[in-house]
Amino acid sequence: MPNSDDRPVVVLTRTADPTADLVITELTARGVPVARFDPADFPLSVRLTARLGGGAGLTGRIRLLAGNREVDLADVRAVYYRRPSPFTFLTLAPEDRPWAIAQARYGLGGVLMALPGCRYVNHPDAVAAAEPKPVQLATAHAVGLPAPPTIVTDSVDDARAFAAEVGPIVYKPIHHAPYHKDGRPAAVWTTEVDPSQFDATIRQTAHLFQAKIDKVADVRVTVVGDRVFAAIARDAELDWRTRQDRLAWQPVEPPSETVKAMLAYLDRFGLAFGCFDFAVDHAGRWWFLECNPNGQWAFIQEKTGIPIAAAFADLLATGRA
């Protein structure tokens, strides 16, 4: 359908991002202008001039040198905050980089976070507030999403006592930070642990242990606006991401009370989108594991045909999914 609104949607992401490509393709099919760039390219190929005050609010422009294009800050209708790269400033001396990175993050980044009258999917502040797992679990409890018993601790004794109380437990990273083993990047997955093997290394930082759910399936739910897209994978590993490419995902209808709770969860953080993970036990109960406020969903669309990208395009173009 032709679009009469010529205000652009800004997509902030790195150069190679197939997920963003899906959304941009949908927006383009609707005749919606798109300005895509990676903030990390500032100031080499992305340039900024913004003014504040004088009764006009935030005004100015962002110049995209690669496409010889300008984006008027006052005309941006929506921002899709996907996966921008970190600032690096490799052309500067090492001692100068931290200063320049901070100025860019709070300069260009601050301007992008303050665009007047546009919708964010999602606003970086909302993403940051919704990322910590303890906050997620507390919010899930508050809105009525059942979550496995969990402990966050640096105490060996308390971790062992927790395991004695709840039975088999798993370890989960509290936050997915860069990790290297033998000089190579390594992933830390959800892993079942034996409390008898706990030692003094637990005292070195915070750890998250959780009761192991005897599950029969995993569910990934992508919520875009008020639209809910759920897919189920049966007979998955303890952490389904370890064999994601081999899983057979199928659409599934989530329980109505779970849908209501998920929408309430997103509303608590001011999020327009989120990817929820659930474990389904033998009794059919859905256990909340986490909600990624900037999660991956393209593999679900690819494997199931669920039109998630179209919902993103609807939300970014019109404010309604």
* CATH code assigned at 40: 3.40.50
Is there a domain that residue 144 lies in? no
pLDDT at res. 3: 55
pLDDT in tens, 77-112: 999 999 999 999 999 999 999 999 999 999 999 999
Which contiguous run of DSSP H or E holds residue 157?
helix 156-166
Residues of the chain with pLDDT > 90: what percent?
Answer: 84
Six token digits for residue 264:
């309430």
Range of the domain at 256: 128-133+214-318
- Please state at what angle helix 308-318 crosses helix 18-29, rounded to 10 degrees: 60
Sequence length of the chain is 321
Is there a domain that residue 175 lies in? yes
Is there a domain that residue 2 lies in? no
pLDDT in tens, 225-256: 999 999 999 976 777 777 777 889 999 999 99
Is there a domain that residue 60 lies in? yes
Same domain, 202 and 298: no
Same domain, 232 and 271: yes
User: How do strand 286-292 and strand 250-251 relate by DSSP bridges?
Assistant: unpaired
Is there a domain that residue 138 lies in? no
User: How high is the mean pLDDT of the chain?
Assistant: 93
Same domain, 201 and 233: no
pLDDT in tens, 122-173: 999 999 999 999 999 999 999 999 999 999 999 999 999 999 999 999 999 9
Is there a domain that residue 303 lies in? yes
pLDDT at res. 1: 46
Among 121, 141, 157, residue at a domain's last position:
121
What residues contact 296, with CB distance under 8 A and at least 6 apart?
Answer: 19, 275
Tell me if residue 46 falls in helix, strand or coil.
strand
- pLDDT of residue 176 exceeding 80, the answer is no
Among 211, 228, 258, residue at a domain's last position:
211
* Total domains present in the chain: 3
pLDDT at res. 100: 98
